[in-house]
Amino acid sequence: MSRLITLLVLLFLFSCQTEKEENNVLKVDKSVLSEKVDTYAKAYESLDIFSGAILIAKDGKPVYERAFGLANRDDKRPNTLQTKYLIGSMNKDFTRVLILQLIAEGKLRWTDKMIDYLNGFDQPGVREVTVRQLADHTSGFGDYEDWDFVELPYAQKNLATILERARNQELLFEPGTDNEYSNTGYALLGAIIERITRKTYEQNVKERIAQPLGMNNTYLKDIQQKPDRTIGYIITINGVDNTEMVIAEPRPDGGFWCTPSDLLLFYQNFFYGSTLIPDSIRATDTYFKQIAPLYSKPNSIDYLAGGTNGHNSVIGQFFKENISIIVLANMDEPVAEKVVDGIVAILNAREPQAPKLPALLAAYQAYKENGVGYLKSNFEEVTSNYYPGDPKDGILNNLGYQLIEAGKMDEAVDLLKLNTELFPDIANCWDSYGEVLLKKGDKKGALKAYQRALSIQPMQPNHQ
């Protein structure tokens, strides 16, 4: 089955800065925030597309904290400020801190080669991969997580399995010549940390970060056994599904669970403190060099985010003003980012954009109400509520498979055919279209679709 796996992988730290409203003075008024943020968040909650927690802080002190919706829909357990939420790829920032600490201790250098610490890597080009390239997503490694990984038993979704996959993963490009977001790269950094310290990644985070900061509400391991964490949910055309199958033991590229207040503790020290990272070492890091100008520019914000199916986490940080906006959601992406965007508007005394349905649901609604021609002509507008950077061919691809599962084959044919028209050069679109035609009994049409997929991507799996 040619499902697009993009939405199942742990998504990533990303950075987005703005100075569009540089002359505005951010308005941090507790009473205004309480009324306006409450109203805004409840509008999302009323559409059943947001549940989670929101924390807004000034200089590290909360000025707004509230939880919304349910942590577990089966037992009606509500979200609270003490519920533990999945932070996804925000783990990468913890890994970055550990790397910087080892550099400060003289145990590691940015220019060190990966193979100086890890063996069994013989792929072309891999001998040139440096620690800095792993941290900056320029190593050439891509992702290790696909549907096969998701379906592994929980106990096998660990760093050892990832390392084995990485040893069989060809580089996407010559190290240092391009940029590709890489979960594998951060897993490899975690393995380097373990090799140098002779301790597990979890032990390093506990001893070097969580304990010094007093992060007593963060889970670093044994996630399945924790009773006070969220269950992730995704809304499909067939209803609301939990996403427990994607849960894995925390790894250097993602997977911790914590409260908003614990996450605030970490990022205040990450951005401003010296408890974790000496200033002299912070200055050697590419990311901190990138954000350095923002500390002196009013109304400049950077977003760091993470998530997977059913979970979404983000911090929006105004650097000069030291205003932090943390949203942790146990609903599908990109709801946390959208809520943060609305809060940014409120802080700038603007009306936030009205909540929108997720792109997949909006596309299906537009199709049902106005037809396939309307959806084709208005696809970009209809699907504007989609995760930044994700390929949009995934929207109708995933919708098509939901329709197949629901037995709505004619609708699946309509929308997967439309996907080939919107994205004619994407092999997966033709492969999915061929699959639905085959299920409908149209062998001739399916063969043509599969042949088109193979002409675009010769390595596409064969279908009989």
The secondary structure of 333-354 as a DSSP string is TTHHHHHHHHHHHHHTT-PPPP
Instruction: Judge residue 298's burial from the number of C-beta atoms within 10 Å of its C-beta, 0-12 exposed, 13-18 middle, 19 or more buried.
Output: middle
The radius of gyration computed from the CA coordinates of the chain, to the nearest angstrom, equals 23
Amino acid, res. 22? E
For residue 3, the model assigns a pLDDT of 31
- Backbone φ and ψ for 240, nearest 5 degrees, come out as -100, 125
Instruction: Check residue 112 and give left, alpha or beta (phi > 0: left; psi -120 to 50: alpha).
Output: beta
pLDDT value of position 333: 77
Q: State the Cα–Cα distance between residues 359 and 134, nearest whole angstrom.
A: 32
Residues with pLDDT less than 70, the chain: 1-24, 459-464
Whether the Cβ atoms of residue 340 and residue 327 lie closer than 8 Å to each other: yes
What is the pLDDT, as a whole number, of residue 459?
63
Question: How far apart, in whole angstroms, are the C-alpha atoms of residue 13 and residue 181?
Answer: 9
Of 267, 302, 292, nearest to 93 by C-alpha is 267
Please answer whether residues 125 and 175 qualify as being in contact, where contact means their C-beta atoms are separated by less than 8 angstroms.
yes
Compute how many other C-beta atoms are within 10 angstroms of the C-beta atom of residue 48.
13
pLDDT of residue 24: 64
Level-2 CATH architecture, domain 359-456:
Alpha Horseshoe (1.25)
Is residue 105 packed enough to be buried (19+ CB in 10 Å), middle (13-18) or exposed (0-12)?
Answer: exposed
The strand pairing partners of 263, in sequence order, are none
Q: What is the pLDDT of residues 194-251, one digit of tens each?
A: 999 999 999 999 999 999 999 999 999 999 889 999 999 998 898 899 999 999 999 9
pTM of the model: 0.87
Helix H or strand E segment including 429:
helix 427-439
Calculate the alpha carbon distances from 451 to 436, 442, 460 in Å.
15, 14, 10
